[in-house]
């Protein structure tokens, strides 16, 4: 019985593994600029994975998805975040509520849970990328962990965007992506959301002279 894995499936699995490793790197990163760079690289790898699926399956809309991911996730959003960091004069380290070793151990536990949850679901899928569903779910959970363990606004936004990367990978793994209209709508929502959050960052900085969102807990109604 021939059990050789096709080259395309190997490339897709490799891209998914790199995405997961980048999620761990983002979870452990203590500097803002490298964190944004890691997010941009994750978007680049995600676009590459989507392109491989498109070439293998001849799904026309996935070519558009790969291009949109490259433009938005690997180029435009990192550029916007870099501009925000420079405009806000952000030079501090990424502060975390939990130390890095403990966070990484929690992340490993979440990956184990994600693979166990995704295994029976992936068996129901017949896509060439179904093996990456566990990695996609793990990426979502690691991004969510990054969101809840960071005290600054920008790392939390990066965590939210990384979570969307995981959801996109999951959609590609299970059903070869979403309809193009839905993907364009989500991309527009993410872009507008980041712009609005950029304005929100300036308001937080002007009000508290800091981007630590814990200060907002002290706000009281007049």
Residues 129-151: tens digit of each pLDDT? 677 888 989 999 999 898 888 87
Count of alpha carbons within 13 Å of 134, Cβ hemisphere only?
Answer: 17
Q: Specify if 1 maps to a domain.
A: no
Q: What 3-state class would DSSP assign to 98?
A: coil
Supply the range of the domain harboring residue 98: 7-218
Q: Specify if 194 maps to a domain.
A: yes
Q: Specify if 76 maps to a domain.
A: yes
| Residue (of 13, 16, 36, 15) closest to 26 by Cα position | 36
Q: In the chain, how many domains are there?
A: 1
Higher pLDDT, 39 or 62: 39
Q: Specify if 37 maps to a domain.
A: yes
- pLDDT tens, residue by residue, 3-50: 576 787 888 889 999 999 999 999 888 888 888 899 999 999 999 988
Q: Do 152 and 95 touch, CB atoms closer than 8 A?
A: yes
| pTM for this prediction | 0.81
Q: Specify if 2 maps to a domain.
A: no
Mean pLDDT of the chain, nearest integer: 78
Q: Do 111 and 83 touch, CB atoms closer than 8 A?
A: no
Q: Do 26 and 138 touch, CB atoms closer than 8 A?
A: no
């Amino acid at each position: 019985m021939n059990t050789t894995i096709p080259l395309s499936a190997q490339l897709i699995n490799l891209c998914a593994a790199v995405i997961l490793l980048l999620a761990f790197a983002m979870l452990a990163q203590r500097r803002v600029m490298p964190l944004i760079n890691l997010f941009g690289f994750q978007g680049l790898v995600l676009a590459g994975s989507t392109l491989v699926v498109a070439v293998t399956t001849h799904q026309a809309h996935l070519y558009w998805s790969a291009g949109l991911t490259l433009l938005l996730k690997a180029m435009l959003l990192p550029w916007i975040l870099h501009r925000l960091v420079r405009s806000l004069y952000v030079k501090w380290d990424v502060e975390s509520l939990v130390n890095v070793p403990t966070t990484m151990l929690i992340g490993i536990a979440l990956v184990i849970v994600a693979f166990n949850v995704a295994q029976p679901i992936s068996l129901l899928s017949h896509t060439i990328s179904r093996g990456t569903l566990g990695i996609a779910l793990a990426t979502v959970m690691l991004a969510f962990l990054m969101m809840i363990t960071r005290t600054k606004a920008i790392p939390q936004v990066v965590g939210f965007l990384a979570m969307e990367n995981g959801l996109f990978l999951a959609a590609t793994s299970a059903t070869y992506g979403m309809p193009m209209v839905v993907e364009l709508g989500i991309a527009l929502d993410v872009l507008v959301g980041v712009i609005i959050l950029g304005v929100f960052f300036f308001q937080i900085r002007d009000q508290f002279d800091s981007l630590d969102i814990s200060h907002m807990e002290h706000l009281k109604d007049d």
